[in-house]
């Protein structure tokens, strides 16, 4: 029986692994279906991890993390977890894609989330070279430049407002003429002088050269097109939360979730189920940053230690 099972080996899972083992839990396994490090390993440059200066890729940032955890006894198992359940006696079961199963006294779920792609030509080719899904991460690279934002939900409008503070101009491209966002957010966007609404416009192609994106072409409902010169295109068309491991046989979730599939947690990363914690991008209201995911992992780990001691 494990003291704690950690599902996912990104910044949240690895930090949970560091704090649980260093804090005295003996049998802790981090289940990661791929290489540890998480989605930041796809980033060519990270500038906002505190204390890390100079040019560093996401991969380079994450390389020392597993080794640091292993020094304190964290076991890493390369496995895909298919389901986490809780028996009536309070023990968690961890089912894996190879059909095997583990048991754990507590579980920290850190499986992250994945931004959706809009599907226009050039989106994948230029991803990380002008196409981004994170304004907090990449907005600064476009300081005093013009950018395009795609989407018409709360995320697109909030991120457009964020980018409007950094960039000279933001083209907000949306495929309809009305937004899904909260009314006051729409009002703020409309009242922001350097946001231009490009409505009834479907992004068709992002174009660029060896240096990266140079512009985006959109097609309007009446079949006319417009080319907009921008070096940066931010795509906010929804998010897939990697919550499948919490789905039970009957289709319900093990713990309470938000309407859009994120795990509801309190400030201690506790879910609605005792002994079950969620950390990082998959939890409600996550800022979706490495430093925040790591912080969540530490908080969840301290709670898992207290749970093992009977304080919860
Ligand atoms: P993730 O990093 O998504 O890790 C989740 C892990 O769980 C993955 O390794 C996955 O393989 C594993 N997993 C999922 N399901 C299962 C399963 N069923 N079984 C086993 N393992 C599973 N943040 C910044 O702070 N600054 C930046 O500059 C920045 N730039 C970014 C650039 C890019 C291109 C991307 C994609 C993200 C960027 N981010 C940045 C965001 C940052 O990467 C995330 O906020 C952070 O990685 C979230 O950590 P996490 O541990 O919650 O999830
Ligand atoms: P969302 O609400 O699903 O909005 C996605 C937007 O992208 C929609 O406007 C959609 O257009 C557009 N879109 C989808 N696919 C597209 C494509 N292929 N090409 C072009 N446009 C496309 O996603 P979200 O904004 O990430 O929000 C997710 C949930 O989180 C929502 O429930 C939201 O309210 C919530 N949220 C809340 C807050 C907050 O309360 N402060 C902040 C962020 C998110 P259509 O409108 O035409 O479908």
- Which pLDDT does position 310 carry in this prediction? 85
- Which pLDDT does position 43 carry in this prediction? 81
Ligand nearest to C-alpha 119: 2
Structure tokens at 216: 């985006």
Tens of pLDDT along the chain (312 residues)? 999 999 999 999 999 999 999 999 999 999 999 999 999 998 878 889 999 998 899 999 999 999 999 999 999 999 999 999 999 999 999 999 999 999 999 999 999 999 999 999 999 999 999 999 999 889 999 999 999 999 999 989 999 999 999 999 999 999 999 999 989 999 999 999 999 999 999 999 999 999 999 999 999 999 999 999 999 999 999 989 999 999 999 999 999 999 999 999 999 999 999 999 999 999 999 999 999 999 999 999 999 999 998 866
Q: How many CB atoms lie within 10 A of CB 267?
A: 6
Please state, in angstroms and as integers, the Cα–Cα distance from residue 107 to each residue in 1, 35, 48, 222, 269, following that order.
12, 20, 29, 53, 11
CB 137 within 8 A of CB 48: yes
CA distance 226 to 224: 7
CA distance 58 to 36: 12
Task: Please work out whether the CB of residue 285 comes within 6 Å of at least one atom of ligand 2.
Answer: no
CA distance 154 to 151: 9
- Which pLDDT does position 26 carry in this prediction? 94
Domains of the chain and CATH, by start: 2-114+239-309 (3.50.50.60), 117-235 (3.50.50.60)
Which residues lie below 8 Å from residue 217, measured CB to CB, with a gap of 6+? 203, 204, 205, 207, 225, 226, 227, 228
Task: Please work out whether the CB of residue 132 comes within 6 Å of at least one atom of ligand 1.
Answer: no
pTM: 0.87
Task: Please work out whether the CB of residue 156 comes within 6 Å of at least one atom of ligand 2.
Answer: yes
Quote the ligand 1 centre to 10 CA distance (angstroms): 5
- Which pLDDT does position 248 carry in this prediction? 97
Please state, in angstroms and as integers, the Cα–Cα distance from residue 213 to each residue in 128, 140, 229, 234, 254, following that order.
10, 16, 9, 11, 43
CA distance 105 to 304: 9
Tracing tokens 């839990």 back to the chain, one arrives at: 25
- Which pLDDT does position 312 carry in this prediction? 64
Ligand nearest to C-alpha 155: 2
Quote the ligand 2 centre to 288 CA distance (angstroms): 16
**DSSP3 helix / strand / coil % (the chain, rounded to 5):** 25, 30, 45
- Measured in whole angstroms, the distance separating CA 16 from the mean position of its chain's CA atoms is 16
- Which pLDDT does position 47 carry in this prediction? 87
């Amino acid at each position: 029986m494990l003291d704690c099972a950690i599902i996912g080996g990104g910044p949240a899972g690895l930090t949970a692994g560091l704090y649980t083992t260093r804090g005295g839990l003996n049998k802790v396994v981090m289940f990661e279906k791929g290489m540890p490090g998480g989605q930041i390993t796809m980033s060519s440059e990270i500038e906002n991890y505190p204390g890390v200066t100079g040019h560093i890729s996401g991969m380079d940032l994450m390389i020392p993390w597993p080794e640091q955890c292993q020094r304190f006894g964290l076991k890493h198992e390369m496995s895909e977890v298919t389901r986490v359940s809780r028996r009536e006696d309070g023990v968690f079961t961890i089912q894996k894609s190879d059909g095997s199963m583990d048991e754990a006294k507590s579980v920290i779920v850190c499986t992250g989330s994945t931004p959706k792609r809009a599907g226009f030509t050039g989106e994948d080719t230029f991803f990380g070279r002008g196409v981004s899904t994170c304004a907090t991460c990449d907005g600064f690279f476009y300081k005093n430049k013009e950018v395009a934002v795609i989407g018409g939900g709360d995320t697109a409008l909030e991120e457009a407002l964020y980018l409007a503070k950094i960039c000279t101009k933001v083209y907000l491209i949306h495929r309809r003429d009305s937004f899904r966002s909260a009314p006051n957010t729409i009002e703020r966007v409309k009242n922001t002088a350097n946001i231009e609404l490009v409505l009834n416009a479907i992004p068709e192609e992002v174009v660029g050269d060896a240096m990266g994106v140079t512009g985006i072409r959109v097609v309007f409902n009446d079949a006319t097109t417009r080319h907009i010169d921008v070096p940066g295109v931010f795509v906010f068309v929804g998010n897939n939360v990697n919550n499948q491991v919490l789905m039970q046989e009957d289709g319900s979730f093990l713990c309470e979730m938000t309407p859009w599939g994120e795990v509801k947690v309190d400030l201690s990363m506790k879910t609605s189920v005792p002994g079950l914690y969620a950390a990082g991008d998959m939890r409600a209201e996550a800022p979706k940053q490495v430093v925040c995911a790591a912080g969540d992992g530490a908080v969840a780990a301290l709670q898992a230690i207290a749970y093992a001691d009977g304080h919860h």
